[in-house]
Amino acid sequence: MENVIIGIDLGGTNLRIGAVTPDNEMLSPSVIKSSAVAYADKPIEKICEIIADYIEKNHIRKVEAISIGVPSSVENDKETVICTTNIRNQEGEAVFSHTNMAEGIRAYFKVPVFINNDVNNILLYDIAANHLEKQKVVVGIYIGTGVGSSVVIDGKPLEGKNGAELDIGHIPYFGGDVRCSCGKTGCCECYASGWRLQELRRQYYPDTEIQDMFTKHKDEKPIKDFIQACAYIYAVMATIFNPDTIIVGGGVPEMADFPREEFEKAVNENTGRDVMAYGFDYLYSKEFVGKGVIGAAVFARQRLGI
């Protein structure tokens, strides 16, 4: 195996790693618990150990680059992680906080190393998998445990001054008074997120498994209100960016019987009229464990210009 990019999706629970070919095929995927990194005395050295072990076991002769997606904003150098709030050590501290992850890995393997926000990578995967590369504006919003988003304009991911852009899960929900885990009050993901859906299950439907929430209760008011809250987030982004396509993804919209028709109606009703005069396409991201791994490789190839 040669001329591959090692893609890694480092999440709060699992680390996924795979070799990705130039035609975006993922070979020999492997999954380990992220705690192996989070609880290590030297987390970056542990990542190097995991990569080296993967390369040896899979007889990889040539690696073009290593690319890692993390659940955090990443500075525009695409090396420095701002803060992995969902990856914490045994003392409860964020493992990577304003940390240059790429430097040590690059020194170890002597290949280019890139770090990117995991949602940015997933959007790049969805664009490649659905052949949307020529569209002017693609907006991806992924509602999982929290809310993540990414925007690609003319083929380039939108970047803020420092790389902390599009943290839409923590924009204020008007009149919101729920305390968020980030320390603020009334953030969007207090009302539209996987953890909010879990709260609704505990409060109203304790005998229903989380995967059956929409199947059994989508016509009931608590779930209808939840769908409306989710739709507001998409409507705000549609109004701001006037996209060709909005990609709807994450664990919540990918659940069985997610009410797409009701959701889209609510988005359309709340999106600005000028945007709706032209409309946009909806594309639902499909569940696939390799999205973050392949997306990391797509990102690396963009940075390398290949």
- Report how far residue 121's alpha carbon sits from residue 81's, in angstroms, rounded to the nearest whole number: 15
The tens-digit pLDDT sequence of the chain (306 residues) is: 778 999 999 988 899 999 999 999 999 999 999 999 999 999 999 999 999 999 999 999 999 999 999 999 999 999 999 998 889 999 999 999 999 999 999 999 999 999 999 999 999 999 999 999 999 999 999 998 889 999 999 999 999 999 989 988 888 888 888 888 778 888 888 899 999 999 999 999 999 999 999 999 999 999 999 999 999 999 999 999 999 999 999 999 999 999 999 999 999 999 999 999 999 999 999 989 899 999 999 999 999 987
- Quick one: pLDDT at residue 13? 86
- Quick one: pLDDT at residue 106? 98
Exposed e or buried b per residue across 78-89, where buried means at least 16 C-beta atoms within 10 angstroms of its C-beta: bbbbbbbbbbee
Find the angle CA(77)-CA(81)-CA(85) to the nearest 5 degrees: 155
| Strand bridging mode 97-100 / 26-33 | unpaired
- Quick one: pLDDT at residue 184? 86
Cβ atoms 27, 4 nearer than 8 A: yes
- Quick one: pLDDT at residue 160? 92
| Strand bridging mode 245-249 / 137-143 | parallel
Contacts of 304 (CB under 8 A, 6+ apart): 64, 65, 112
In this prediction the pTM is 0.91
